[in-house]
Structure 1
Amino acid sequence: MWELVKAGGWLMTPIVLCSILALVIIIERSHTLQFNKIVPSRLREQLITRLRENGDIGRTQLMNVKEKTPLGDILATGLLYRQYGLESMTMHMQNRASVQIHQLEKNINMLGTIGAIAPLLGLLGTVLGIISSFLAITDGAMQDPTMLAAGVSQALITTAAGMIVAIPALVAYRYFQRRIIDINAQFETQAGLMIQELYDYHLLADSNLADMRQFPSAAVEGAADSAPAMHGEVNAEAAMTS
């Protein structure tokens, strides 16, 4: 292996560094982007059940839920701000979801960059190797066969090394991108279901809804108070007309 690296020339150094960095990112993201660690099953159901049984969840308990998983961070944030109404609750949940997605995308772009530049490094090694091979030929005659073989060897080795690094990096990049899209969709689904369940079980403290519930009785009382006055005005107009 070391002999191949030496035969590839100095361009093998950045290619090897790219391969090490890509491997570290793949291992780290594979450990981080485990679905059950990010979106634990039945977390929403547990929060809603505890809320229905106790009427409320303490701030300390919600902060513990926030710190454990990304989904817990989003749902617990919504419950912390539910007393301020649906709009405030939704806004804070969206903000936390954006922060969590940004953290999940950490180093993913670097992996895509490695997948893009590794073949270019290999292509550059190919060009330099071909140039070195042509330098071994002068006036149509081969002056240095060793130099020609070294140039061809450099061209082939760097090309192969660049592709060997780029192909797994690009595959992992696309895979992690798709995994984050699925996680984001699950965030939206779980948040929407929690809001719906808060509505269904009358657990959402929304000032707008409270005003709407109070409005009909106030309207009826106002209509009852104004009815005699309106009746008097109609009789007065009828008398003036007659």
Structure 2
Amino acid sequence: MWLKAPTDITDIKLLPNEVHIWRENLENVKPSLEYFTQILSEDELGRAKRFHFEQHRQRFIAGRGILRSILGRYLNIEPSKIRFDYEPRGKPFLDRNYHRNLGFNLSHSQNFALYAVTLNDSIGVDLECFNSTTDVVSLAQRFFLPSEFAAIKSAPQEQQQQLFFRYWTCKEAYLKATGTGLKDLQKVEISLTPEQPARLNVPGEWKLIEIKPFLNCAAAIAISSRDLQLKYWDFGS
């Protein structure tokens, strides 16, 4: 499913009915950290410096450097020349004064990063790695709808982690696509089972896709269009 990314940017075509999904293990790009630092903007470097731990600083630099490198392929410009703007809740988008319409979103969890690129603006992606120390039942009771909490609580213990993070990534992907904050987690209803894919129960023509880009992780993409084809790329291959 995951394809080796071509080195020639002209070989990557993004059609109106496509979503391109990119993945990377940030440990693999440590040799490129110096280059990524050089292509980040001043405000991105300022954000990186605010991280207390060096590991988190490096993850941010790598994540944004990869984002610029990916978008530069589609825009056919140097990654350092890309200009971002931000929605009120922090979702980045391309500055329309400088770039053509191109929608994207990104998510990081631990050492992993996931990106989605499309010609549709309303897209959100979320990636979460499983954490055995997380009290998922308590979190579900606090943030999810009663039916969702009941589904997690009644599931066998070995399935609770996976179910919780499937719910979480599906909800957050939609909230990121709409630019809404996590305060609205309980307003987004998701239907899923251990055997069946998730379904987004909200008004409008929304498509929800669950994927497994890495072991022991859950991920979801939400986009405001149903008739789409997905392509999957490995950034560093």
Give the number of the structure whose residues are more often strand, by fraction.
Answer: 2
- The alignment's TM-score, normalised by the length of structure 1, stands at 0.19
Larger radius of gyration: 1
Give the number of the structure whose residues are more often helix, by fraction.
Answer: 1
- The alignment's TM-score, normalised by the length of structure 2, stands at 0.20
